[in-house]
Amino acid sequence: MIMVEKLQHKYALSKEGARSLIKACAACTVSYIVLMMPAGILYQLIKDLLSGEMSRSHIIIYIAGTILILACIAISQKIQYNATFYSTYVESGIRRKNLAERLRKLPLSYFAKKNLTDLTTNILADCSQIETASSHWIPELIGAVLSVIIMGISMFFFFDPRLVLASFWVIPMAFLIIYSSSGLQKKAVRKNVEVRLEMQDGIQECIESMRDLRANHADEKYLKGLNLKIDKVEKQALVTEVSMAVYVSSAQMLLKIGIGTTALVGGILFAKGEIDILTFFLFLMVVSRLYDPMSISLQNFAAIIATEIQCERLDEVLSHPIQTGEEKLSNNGYDICFDHVRFSYSEDTNVLSDVSFTAKQGEVTALIGPSGGGKTTVSRLASRFWDIDAGKITVGGMDISKIDPEILLSMYSIVFQEVTLFNNSVLENIRIGKKDATDEEVLAAAKLANCDSFVQDLPEGYATMIGENGSELSGGERQRISIARAFLKDAPIILLDEATASLDVENETVIQEALSKLIKDKTVLIIAHRMRTVEGADKIVVLKDGTVAECGSPDELNNKPEGIFKHMRDIQLETANWKMA
C-alpha cells in the first residue's frame, strides 16, 4: 500500500494506475527472464553434444523444450503488452479525466496565479510524456534490472563467482553514472520547460494581438522578439540533449568494458583449468545478450529522471487543495451579507480591508466606485469564486464558505463583463444557462435579452455557428447572449458585472426593461460605471480602496455635497455634454 501511494505521487497516477505499473514491471521482469531461457537450453545442448550423450530421446526433449520456450515467450510477450501498453493507455485516459475534474474543483484563486499556457502544457505535453514513461521506460527499466539481479544471483551460486563479478560489475557502476547526473538533468529540463512556455506564450499573444500589432506597425518588431524566444528553445534543447548524452554515452562505454573483463578473467580461469570451455562460452554469450538491453535501460533511466519534472508539475495540480463544503443548502431567503470581510490576492496586497453591507432580496444593490476599489472582487467573493481571508459572507444566514461551490452556484445567475462563448450554435450557447432547457425555453430567454434583433440576420438563425468565443458576433451581441443565459437559468440571486457596458443606449434600455422583469423578488448585485445604469437601484454601495466609503439610496448619496457618488455623477453629466471644439 505504501509503494502504491508513493508511485501515485511520484508519477501522477491513480491508485489503480499505480497497481498496474507494478504489474507491468513484474510482467517485464518475467518476460526478460523467459527471453534468456534459450541460452540455458543451448548451453545444455552443447554440453550433451560435447559429452557424446546425445540420444534420440534427448533430441525429442530439446525439440519439446524449444517449443515450450517459444510458447512461454509468446505468452509472456502478450502479458507484457497488455500490462504495459494497454494498461497505460487506460490510465492515461483516467489521468486526463482526473486532471480535468481537479481543475474544475480548484478555487479560481489557483487560476489567477497560474499561467494558462502552463496548464495547457500540463494537460497535453506533460500527460503524453508520463504516458510514454509508463508504457516504455519505467516497466522496461525495472524489468531489465530485476531480471539481471535474478540472473546474477543464480549464476553466482551455480558458476564461478569471480566470472560473475567480472561480467556484472560494470552494470551498477553504469547506473551510478546516470544517477549522478540527475541534478544537472532536472535543472536542464526545468529550464527547457521554462523557455518553451515563454515561446508558447509569445506565439499565443502574437496570434491574439496581430490586429493591434499591424495597426501600430509593431508586428515586425514583435516577431523579431518571438524569433529570439524560438531560438532560445532550440539552444536549450541542444544543451539538455548534450548534457544527457555525455552521461549516457559514458555509462554505455563503461558497459563495453565488461566484455573485456569477462574475456580477460574467463581466459585466465580457463588457462588455469578452473573453468571449462563451455562455461567460458556461456558467459561470453550471456554478456553479449545482456549488455545491449542494459544499454537501452541506461537511456530509459536517464529519460525517467528527466520525466520527474513533468510528474512534479502534474502532481502539483492533482494534490492542490480543492474547495469543499456541504451539499445541502440551509439558507433562509437570499439576502447577501458581507460582515467585516478582508481579502487579498497575495500576501503583500490587500484588496478588501473591511467591507460590510447587506444586499437584500427583492432589491437591486449597485456597487460603484473608482477602478481598483474592489467591486468585481466583491461579486466574485459573493459567489465563492475565492475564499476570504477574514470576516464572513452569508446568503440567507448561511455561511457560504461551508457550502460546496457547485451547489452554491445553483442559486446564482452571473453575467460577466468579459463574455465567454463557445464554437457552437447561438441556441446551444444560451442553453448553457440551463442544460435541460427546451428549445422553447431557450428562445423565450433569447427574446427577453433582445437577441432576436441580430439572430434573424444570421445565415441559419439560432442554429448559426458563431466561431471561437463568438468571433462572428459583435461585443454587444455576445453580451446579449450572456444575459440570455441568466434569463434562462432564472436563479434567485443575480450578479451583473458591467452587463450592459457593451450595449448601445437603445439596447441598454431594452435590456434594463427585461432585467426589471427578471429581478422581481430576487437579490440583485450590479457592478456598473454608468450612473444611468444604477439610477434605479434601491441601494448603492460605494467602494474605495477596499472599504465601503458610502452606502445608501441614490437620492441619499446624491444629497451629500462632498460625496463620491455625487462627484462621479456630476463628472459623467459633464462628460455627456462634452463636444469637440
Lowest mean pLDDT across 33-37, 286-290, 519-523, 539-543: 286-290
Alpha helices in 272-354 (DSSP H): 277-318
d(CA 260, CA 479): 76
Confidence at residue 135, expressed as pLDDT on a 0 to 100 scale: 81
Q: Mean pLDDT, to the nearest integer, of 36-55?
A: 74
Question: Which pLDDT band, with edges at 50, 70 and 90, does 339 fall under?
Answer: very high
| pLDDT-above-70 percentage for the chain | 94
Q: Which residue has the cell 583449468?
A: 273
Grid coordinates belonging to 108:
479560481
Q: Mean pLDDT, to the nearest integer, of 104-115?
A: 76
Confidence at residue 575, expressed as pLDDT on a 0 to 100 scale: 61
Confidence at residue 124, expressed as pLDDT on a 0 to 100 scale: 75
Residue 455: closest CA among 444, 442, 464, 445: 464
Confidence at residue 398, expressed as pLDDT on a 0 to 100 scale: 93
Q: Mean pLDDT, to the nearest integer, of 89-100?
A: 82
Grid coordinates belonging to 228:
529570439
Q: Mean pLDDT, to the nearest integer, of 101-129?
A: 77
Segment 429-477, tens digit of pLDDT: 999 888 888 999 999 988 888 888 888 888 888 888 888 777 778 777 8
Grid coordinates belonging to 23:
504489474
Confidence at residue 337, expressed as pLDDT on a 0 to 100 scale: 94
Question: Which pLDDT band, with edges at 50, 70 and 90, does 493 fall under?
Answer: very high
Please say if the pLDDT value at position 25 is more than 80.
yes
Segment 409-425, tens digit of pLDDT: 889 988 887 788 888 89
d(CA 534, CA 548): 17
Collapsed DSSP state (helix, strand, coil) of residue 199: helix
pTM of this structure: 0.70
The burial of 60, by beta-carbon neighbours within 10 Å (0-12 exposed, 13-18 middle, 19 or more buried), is given as exposed
d(CA 371, CA 565): 14
Confidence at residue 338, expressed as pLDDT on a 0 to 100 scale: 93
How would you classify the pairing of strands 412-415 and 493-497?
A: parallel
The burial of 581, by beta-carbon neighbours within 10 Å (0-12 exposed, 13-18 middle, 19 or more buried), is given as exposed
Which one is predicted more confidently, 417 or 344? 344
Confidence at residue 503, expressed as pLDDT on a 0 to 100 scale: 65
Segment 120-151, tens digit of pLDDT: 777 777 788 888 888 888 888 888 888 888 88
Segment 230-269, tens digit of pLDDT: 899 889 888 888 888 888 888 888 888 888 888 888 888 8
Burial call 124-141: b when 16+ CB within 10 Å, e when fewer: eebbebbbebbbbbbbbb
Residue 318: closest CA among 176, 106, 500: 106
Determine the residue type at 129.
Q
Collapsed DSSP state (helix, strand, coil) of residue 326: strand
Asked whether 302 and 184 are in contact (CB, 8 A), the reply is: no
Q: Mean pLDDT, to the nearest integer, of 499-508?
A: 67
CA distance from start to end of the chain: 80
Domains and CATH numbers, the chain: 2-318 (1.20.1560.10)
What is the rounded average pLDDT for all residues in the chain? 83
Q: Which residue has the cell 525517467?
A: 304
Q: Which residue has the cell 516497466?
A: 139
Confidence at residue 507, expressed as pLDDT on a 0 to 100 scale: 66
Q: Mean pLDDT, to the nearest integer, of 213-239?
A: 87
Asked whether 486 and 413 are in contact (CB, 8 A), the reply is: yes
d(CA 420, CA 162): 72
